[in-house]
Structure 1
């Protein structure tokens, strides 16, 4: 993730999606590393939530939802 000095929200959206991807990858790797079933479930749920956020940011970038089409 880059620290970009811009007021362009699309640049920030792309940056945040990269951060989400890094966290998603980290969580999914940790699911394989830990033994505790509760921790596995927590990490997988967290990854899924971040996937949803990433989709919302993609929809914002692409103006796929009426809420973002302003």
Structure 2
């Protein structure tokens, strides 16, 4: 059973969670497609795309972790 937390529209976690899922999906798609193309430049582009998107997703993770610590201190 999945426990989904619903955040308010003004809560940044609502938006970061959605964007993280989208970034992960596109990164996975890019990694998967690397093996489907023969052009080394296209492969490099797909790999770079995936790495950048996963790096951005990590930034969202760190933002959420910092935010959780701040929210815990405030309550």
One fold, TM greater than 0.5?
yes
| Equivalent position of 1:53 in the other structure | 56
Q: Which of residues 3, 6, 11 in structure 1 aligns to 2:9?
A: 6
- What are the ranges of 5 or more consecutive residues in structure 1 without an aligned counterpart? none
TM-score normalised over the length of structure 2:
0.76
Structure ID, larger Rg: 2
Please, what is the CA RMSD of the aligned residues? 2.2
Structure 1 residue runs of 4 or more that deviate by more than 2 Å after TM superposition: none
Output the CA distance in 2 between the equivalents of 1:12 and 1:23. Answer: 17
TM-score normalised over the length of structure 1:
0.81
- What are the ranges of 5 or more consecutive residues in structure 2 without an aligned counterpart? 1-6, 71-75
Residues paired across the two proteins, number = 63
